[in-house]
Chains A and B, each alone.
Chain A
Amino acid sequence: MDIDFQLAIILPELVIAGGVIFLSVAGLFLRPNLRMWVIPLLSIAFMLVAGAVLIIDSTSGYGFHKLIVKRRELDFFKLIILLGGVLTTLISTRYLQRRSINYFEFYVMLLAAMLGAMIAVSTTHFLTLLVGIEILAITSYVMCAIRRYDRSSVEAAFKYFLLGSFSTAFILFGIGFMYGGTGQLHFGVDIFPNGQLNNSENLFLVIGGIMFLGGLAFKLAAAPFHFWAADVYQGAPTAVMAFLISVPKIVFLVIFYNFLDSHIKFAPWGVFVLILANISMLVGNAMAFLQKDIKRLIAFSSVAHSGYLLLIVIFHRSEGMAVLGYYLLAYLLASFGMLAIIIKISADKENILLGELKGLFASSPRSVFLLSFFILSLAGIPLTAGFFGKLFLFYEIAPIGGFWIGGAMIINSIISVGYYILLIGHLFKRGVFEHSVVADSKNLEMAYWLAFLISVGILLWPQVVNTFMGFA
């Protein structure tokens, strides 16, 4: 066991893990007014170091008895997970400060969530995967409940916690069945010899897989496992919501991809995921039309996005990861940009209704411009990054999935434009905007300008994902 190589495989995770331990201790020795900006700063520094390691070091291979794997494709996802972490930190500082929540542990939790997400992405072993998912989940529950004197926040966190545990039970049960059916805890492409498990009469394996996928679908907020999503996102702090609708989505889609990409791809699983994808698109878009609260609207639109993305999990070619990566990056940037601006314009109120957006254009035109840009990106209107995401997705799924799959995706995207445009329409309504706007948070501004600039960057250079993953 060549220890240098092993450590090189998990170096980014090691940096983050070191950060978690260091910051959780260091915070105790700093004065309260000092640590609320030192800890986030250090936390960002750790994430940047880990990101730099990911970019520079292109080592690939299995490590620690094949418990963990490093590949260039997965590195990209870890990189955008870290980007999500940096953006969450940037939009949280002022948010927490304004609500006088001064637990530095929030940032430690966020950093630990990064660790869990990165572990979960970069493994093809059920147990490592489970531990990664759990680290991500537990930290998410805590971050969700960080406004612990607020009833709705606690209720959301509690719902998330109980239902999340329920779904973890399904995941664990599924893993148990699959282990019972095969005696294997690995699900990687390289690890399974071809065809060893290609025995669809193994009912334990099939049922276990269905349970596993169902549990993952819950975490992904794919319909009909999505009911918790709107309630939790609505109650969660807006900064945490930005994290919840993007980072876990990246993680669980990659797990879906890794799991279904291996040789143990059975027809029942594919049909199950296909049904989930179609229901998600339909239900997400239909429910989004009903919503009056912006955060709930975004929640349901994220359900619809899960649907689009599940399609590529089933129908893809060898470079499908790049398409997934591009779409997720565009989605992450648009979500973060959007929610950062919602934090900006809702200084005195947690949840803003659509009708309350009137007069925003007059009071803060720049916010409206950026918000419209991000909304259009989510909708996939041409000349936004989201458009390229949808375009690549369509090019990837249509040749394999055929007419009906591609058509379903297109029709659903067209339907979704309806409520996105309604939302933009509300932004430009005349009236007096009644809420106060955060005017002096540099971090918040940095977050949405960063999201905007990267969006424009990947618009100008859409091949960046392919290039990074080494496909081009």
Chain B
Amino acid sequence: MVGWSFLIILIPLAGFAINILGSRVIPKWLAMLVGVMAVIIPFTIAGGLFFGVGEFLIREHWFNWLETDSWLLEVAYRLDHLSMVMLLIILGIGGLIHIYSVGYMRDREDAGRFFSYMNLFIFFMLVLVLGDNLLVMFIGWEGVGLCSYLLIGFDYHRKAAAIAATKAFVTNRIGDVGFLIAIFILLNNFGTLSFTKLNQVIPNALASGEIGVGLVSLICILLFFAATGKSAQFPLFTWLPDAMEGPTPVSALIHAATMVTSGIYLIVRLWPIFELSELAQSVILYTGAFSALVSALIATKQWDIKKVLAYSTISQLGYMFMALGAGGYGAAMFHLTTHAFFKALLFLVAGSVIVQLHHQQDLRKMGGLKLRLPLAGLIFAIGAWSISGLPFGAGFFSKDELLWQLYLDRGWDVWLLAVLIAFLSAYYTYRLFYLIFYGQSAEHSQKSYPSLVAEPAAMKYVLIVLAAGTVLVGLLGVPHYLDIFHVGNLINLYLAKVVVMPSQLGIDQSMTEILLMSTSLAVAVGGFLLARMRYRKSLPIEKDNGWNRLLVGKFFVDDIYQDYIAKPFSNLVKGLGIAYFEDFFHSAPKWGRRFFLKIGESIGKTGQSGNMQDYALAIGFSMMIGFAIVVILFLTSWLY
């Protein structure tokens, strides 16, 4: 099984190749089958590896890509406990979403293209999580960015989709600059990009005083800057809500469950380096907290069903970054796992609602669908229960651990901030729930939507399976005061082989934990009840005060970027360009070219005559250069 592990990477690539090369030949059903199997087969292999190998680290060196005296870049992949968790999430949820897409895309003519892009995305995502060094990871990192671009703009004839795709791409490039500079710094200072070596070399170098903590902070902050691009954190988060222009399966897979978590993965992968810099940790913590708070606030006022979920994703990712800043790598990974399940579930059920309502995304035009869409309602309820952290949902376990980690590391103030965000997330989720399924009478809904589009079977079954998964995934990390069967916190135990875990809690702290948990629980229930009170019966009238305008306008971040960064910059470039640069760059090549033309012409006139005797003479004269050298060197040697 171990020897076949490279197939995990190659099969999605093969799926992509088959579908893109045969796009005109392969019938739609076959393209879909290939697309789905290209994810399911690697998933079974990964499952086999998960159960078949106990204490494992697979490291396969393929070849040295570039090698100089001072550095070595190799192409290799590693499969350890951390990448295994990511692998199972990507392939498991990815597989389910592929099956869902079979239903979602059944009427589209270009389903083959869609599946080929999806397979390519899976391939690059696997490259990202399985790469053994930052370079391979960067290839995956850029690749998923490309696929994200292709899939957001899948309906490229829609102008909004094309613009959103470009925005996502460009914003991610800004973050990538940080990644690249970090790579250059690391290569220049340490000559390696391998995770294993970096994780050893940098702490050692810092301990022995070879490098200062400032350099480490710089590297960490640059890498985190890259992560803010990919994981949609402040200041680069504005692309994610716009990315909802893509098809819903894409939003579920790329912009909720997998790609946006790669920033988290990057930091967990390099945790020993991030541990070293207090400054970087604080930056991560407060950036995460700020993003989480701002996006949760914005989410409470959005009217597009997918945008609410998008802001919720930013908020949850901010949560994970908070945990990373507090050193809770296990907690962040656990929340990443549960979030992948419940957010994918929410997106897919939202997609199902959207499809059945003839592609309606506006919440104000929904409502009263409780009886007409009972399955969707039930499943949405499961997802909402999980994300809000209500008892025994998946989010309850992961959020609780995360909050506990924050409390241990940073104390009351940060914990309170996180609890406030938890309140907001319960509020906006249930606002969404009540706006879709309650709010208005069934008759009203009947009037606006006389008929519903039938839901394809594939979508329905995927929703049921994923809902079951969401219910169960929380059990991976049961806190010890609820651990009746003494199985322990499975995910922490599993990851402990790669990532440092906080020491086990003593009995005396257990009471504190229960107290904190009860508080956060009460707050979450409060959010739930507030949403229920406001939105259950009817649409409340929004007051037009400054605060609401601020929230509806999304804190005007986009406008600030447009007016205070993009415009002044382009004006600056224009202003300078007209004065100096444009002139210079226009005329310098001209002068250079003229200069070379002059040289060429003079040689061409005298030498390049086409006459053979002249050529022979030129050869003779050139030989004289050599003789002249000999004579000169000999004369000088005689002088001594």
Contacts and interface: CB of A to CB of B under 8 A. Distances in A.
A291 to B, nearest CB: 9
A272 B623 CA distance: 9
Contacts of A267: 633
Given A167-B619, A210-B627, A230 B608 contact: yes
A467 B634 CA distance: 43
Contact of B612 (A163, A230, A275, A282): A163
Given A275-B625, A418-B592, A231 B619 contact: no
Contacts of B607: 224, 227
A289 B64 contact: no
A163 B615 contact: yes
A210 B626 CA distance: 6
Greatest chain B CB density within 10 A among A166, A271, A463, A472 is at A463
Contacts of B622: 214, 217, 224-225
A286 B608 contact: no
Query: What class of interface size applies to chain A in its complex with B?
Result: 35 or more
A461 interface: yes
Nearest to A167: B619
B225 to A, nearest CB: 23
Nearest to A459: B65
A162 interface: yes
Interface string B41-83: 0000000000000000000000111111000000000000000
Contact of B633 (A225, A268, A467): A268
A149 to B, nearest CB: 21
A419 B599 CA distance: 15
Interface in B587-640: 589, 592-593, 596-597, 599-601, 603-604, 607-608, 610, 612, 614-616, 618-619, 621-623, 625-627, 629-630, 633-634, 637
Query: What class of interface size applies to chain B in its complex with A?
Result: 35 or more
A463 B623 CA distance: 38
Contact of A286 (B599, B612, B614): B599
A228 B612 CA distance: 8
B68 A395 contact: yes
A170 B616 CA distance: 12
A159 interface: yes
A336 B629 CA distance: 37
Contact of B619 (A218, A271, A275, A418): A218
Contacts of A217: 622
Grouping DSSP codes into helix (H, G, I), strand (E, B) and loop, the B interface class, with mixed when no group exceeds half, is helix
B457 to A, nearest CB: 43
Given A267-B633, A463-B64, A418 B623 contact: no
Interface in A413-472: 415, 418, 460-463, 466-467, 472
A289 B595 CA distance: 10
B592 A287 contact: no
Contacts of A352: none
Contacts of A214: 619, 622-623, 626
Interface of A: 159, 162-163, 166-167, 170, 200, 203, 206-207, 210-211, 213-214, 217-218, 224-225, 227-228, 230-231, 267-268, 271-272, 275, 282-283, 285-290, 395, 415, 418, 460-463, 466-467, 472
Given A163-B615, A225-B618, 9 more contacts: A224-B607, A224-B625, A227-B619, A228-B615, A268-B629, A272-B629, A286-B596, A286-B597, A460-B65
6 contacts: A203-B634, A227-B607, A271-B633, A283-B599, A286-B596, A290-B600
Closest 10 CB pairs of A and B: A210-B626, A286-B599, A290-B600, A224-B622, A286-B600, A286-B596, A227-B615, A272-B626, A287-B600, A214-B623
